[in-house]
Amino acid sequence: MNLNEWVLVIPSIREINLEYLKFIPEGLKIFIIDDTDGSIKANRKQMEVFNYAHQKKIMKSNYDLIPHKTAACRNFAFYYIWKYTDYKFILSLDDDCMTRGGFMEQYSVLGKSLELETVVKPSWFNTIDLFKLDQKIYARGYPYFERCDQKQKMVKTKAKVALHMGLWDKILDTDAMDKYLFKDYQLERPGASLKKQIIRIGDSKNIVKFPFSAMNFGFIRELSPIMYQFPMWEKFTDRYSLWRFDDIWAGYVIQSLVALKNDAVTIGAPVIQHMKLGNLEKEMLGEHYGHLISPYFYSVIDEAVSHVSKGPYAEMYVELFDHVVSNAKKLQLKYRIPHLYWKYIFDTACKLSRWGKLFTK
């Protein structure tokens, strides 16, 4: 593995805990996206910190496309890497995740054409099902409307791995409502083992989605334009924020476009330790409207994707969101989307179209 081809991105609001990066090779470049406006300092070799001033200098009039006070600030790194570097493989970790041995080696699947066991049914896959657990636990963002007994089918397919999501144990990534209601969701599960080291989710003929968690993932350079993590709204409506769907909704779009090109999206090892328990009340408030909006959002994306032609990922991304913007009234009426929800979907589509065009210039 040539470390000069790889870079690690960490969005953060705190000093980087070097113990968490114990299994990241010293020679690997690390970009820290500082979301505190200057309090984070580089504390190991090959680490570079980008504060707000750096971000403004690079983004200029497009600085508003970088979300803040959310891990989606990592978007800055994806643009910076595309425009100013030649890294072939991009990894990203949250700052509350501890690596284990073999972390880099298990991401070596990126960019390779592999024959893999592939989930082709049902239409959604629950990532936590890949663990050997004695209870049914659903991952954060797995739709409540899909929580029914559905028979799973797997076949072998071959494709280039464009995106791989590693999993996480100890504190599982689950919805706040489930953690509030059910004791088994509150349990820590350190050392949880996987049933399989890697599986592919869906292909171009069998569209299957999973709730994408941005705590631990990697992708090939070509995907950079479509890896944008969605902006969330601190003030969505009376006393409610909109939060914790930045990666879930981004993942839905990413998986849709990757499937269209018949590249592979995979999940499995490496499993990192998720160390920090979130604020349950804040998470519940932030997730509530996300779950309500999701079915409408997925319908809009599915229709828009059906109008996208295969091509470079940046062009596909722009075509998708330009379709949403150009057909706004038609889509809102067709899917009977309440004005409150449509305001977010439309505003976000406008921003994502602008984002994609940064990569097509």
pLDDT single digits (tens) 63-108 = 999 999 999 999 999 999 999 999 999 999 999 999 999 999 999 9
pLDDT in tens, 141-175: 999 999 998 899 999 999 999 999 999 999 999 99
Mean pLDDT for the chain overall? 97
Nearest residue to 76 (alpha-carbon basis) of 47, 52, 105: 52
> Which uninterrupted H or E stretch holds 11?
strand 6-12
End-to-end CA distance of the chain: 31
Structure tokens at 81: 């890497």
Q: 191 pLDDT exceeds 90?
A: yes
Structure tokens at 350: 């406008």
Q: 220 pLDDT exceeds 90?
A: yes
Q: Provide, for the chain, the percentages of residues in helix, strand and coil under a 3-state DSSP scheme, each rounded to the nearest 5.
A: 40, 25, 35
Q: How confident is the model at residue 39 (pLDDT cuts 50, 70, 90)?
A: very high
Q: 284 pLDDT exceeds 90?
A: yes
| pLDDT confidence of residue 149 | 83
E strands in 18-170 = 29-34, 47-50, 89-93, 97-98, 113-121, 153-170
Dihedral sign (CA 240, 330, 316, 165): positive
Q: What DSSP letter does each residue of 231-274 carry, written as one string? A: P-EEEEETTEEE-S-HHHHHHHHHHHHHHHTT-EEEEEEEEEEE
Please compute the mean of the pLDDT values over residues 291-301 and round it to a whole number: 98
Q: 37 pLDDT exceeds 90?
A: no
| pLDDT confidence of residue 1 | 87
| CATH code of 292's domain | 3.90.550
Residue 198 near residue 116, CB atoms below 8 Å: yes
| Host domain of residue 121 | 3-358
Q: What 8-state DSSP symbol labels residue 321? A: H
E strands in 54-201 = 89-93, 97-98, 113-121, 153-170, 198-201
Measured CA angle at 216 (ends 228, 60), to 5 deg:
30
Query: Residue 38: what residue type?
Result: G
What is the tally of structural domains in the chain?
Answer: 1
Q: 19 pLDDT exceeds 90?
A: yes
Q: How confident is the model at residue 329 (pLDDT cuts 50, 70, 90)?
A: very high
Residue 264 near residue 310, CB atoms below 8 Å: no
pLDDT in tens, 221-263: 999 999 999 999 999 999 999 999 999 999 999 999 999 999 9
Structure tokens at 256: 């849709």
Q: How confident is the model at residue 50 (pLDDT cuts 50, 70, 90)?
A: very high
**% of the chain exceeding 90 in pLDDT:** 98
Cis peptide before 231 (omega within 30 of 0): no
For residue 330, count other CB atoms closer than 10 A to its CB.
10
Whole-angstrom distance, CA of residue 25 vs CA of residue 3: 8
